[in-house]
Amino acid sequence: AAGVIQSPRHLIKEKRETATLKCYPIPRHDTVYWYQQGPGQDPQFLISFYEKMQSDKGSIPDRFSAQQFSDYHSELNMSSLELGDSALYFCASSPRLAGEYNEQFFGPGTRLTVL
Amino acid sequence: LAKTTQPISMDSYEGQEVNITCSHNNIATNDYITWYQQFPSQGPRFIIQGYKTKVTNEVASLFIPADRKSSTLSLPRVSLSDTAVYYCLVGDRTTGGGADGLTFGKGTHLIIQP
């Protein structure tokens, strides 16, 4: 079965640089979520999109922005990178099922290292 | 969202049944209880969800007492590959459904030994 695709899988950047992470949801999933997981930490929700509109917002820094495109893929843009941004970034997707629990399907993650 | 409390770590042996209990004293009427599993360097994976009594699927069982202030995830006959972090989440059906983000608390590190 198709899964969530994230690219790149690994990324190394220097402080103050920018980075763009991409997420391709499971086909027919219209909702995308972004999470950040620092070393030894639990996943922290950043932001979500439904039908290309921002739906929910978590602890996303102002230096980060994201969007969802017409083909439902999403990009997380990170600027002025800091050492503390080094983390695993997960994207998840879910279908919108009225009255049902929408299980979130997570991708393999992008490991970002800021030097 | 209701706060959850789980043991930080547990260990067991292959072939044993493992029960992980989660406390959620402030659970609201509309809240459901959901468990996710996460292997190192992988994204979390949905295991099971329930509202009350008992739910069972091919992977696990979830026991929820009448007062719903706690729940127990039961993993039958664990194997080495069940070594992972297990997260208990509590929220209403829109949590993770209406495009709401999931709030992961401190999960339980389960270690299975041969």
Cα(first)–Cα(last) distance of chain A, in Å?
36
Give residue-wise pLDDT tens across range B31-88.
899 999 999 999 999 999 999 999 999 999 999 999 999 999 999 999 999 999 999 9
Q: Say whether pLDDT at B96 is over 50.
A: no
Measured CA to CA, the distance from residue A42 to residue A39 in angstroms comes to 9
Region B84-111: what's the mean pLDDT?
A: 82
Are B103 and A107 in contact (CB < 8 Å)? no
- The DSSP annotation for B54-104 comes to EEE-SS-EEEE-TT-SEEEEEESS--GGG-EEEEEEEEETTTTTSSPPP--
Band (B100; pLDDT cuts 50, 70, 90): confident
Per-residue DSSP letters for A5-73? EEE-SEEEE-TT--EEEEEEPPTT--EEEEEEE-TT---EEEEEEETTEEEEE-S--TTEEEEE-TTS-
Look at residue B1 and tell me whether its pLDDT is greater than 70. Answer: no
Q: How far apart are CA B34 and CA B48, in angstroms?
A: 6
Phi-psi region of B30 (alpha: psi -120 to 50; beta: other; left: phi over 0): alpha
Q: What is the mean pLDDT of residues A86-115?
A: 87
Compare CB distances from A55 to B38, B93, B99 and report the shortest one's residue.
Answer: B99
Residues of B with CB under 8 A from a CB of A: 32, 34, 38, 41-46, 49, 87, 93, 96-107
- Kindly report the length of chain A: 115
pLDDT tens, position by position, A75-87: 999 999 999 999 9
- Tell me how far apart the alpha carbons of residues A52 and A69 are, in angstroms, rounded to a whole number: 6
Is the pLDDT at B108 greater than 50? The verdict is yes
Residue B99 pLDDT more than 60? yes
In Å, what is the CA distance from B52 to each residue of A47, B7, B56, B107? 30, 21, 12, 21
Is A16's pLDDT higher than 50? yes
- Is B21 a residue whose pLDDT tops 80? yes
* Ordered strands of the A64-68 beta sheet: A5-7, A19-24, A74-78, A64-68
CB contact under 8 A, A108 and B43: yes
Span A102-107, mean pLDDT? 88
Query: Residue A41 and residue B83: Cα distance in Å, rounded?
Result: 17
pLDDT tens per residue, range A32-84:
999 999 999 999 999 999 989 998 899 999 999 999 999 999 999 999 999 99
β pairing state of B53-56 and B61-64: antiparallel
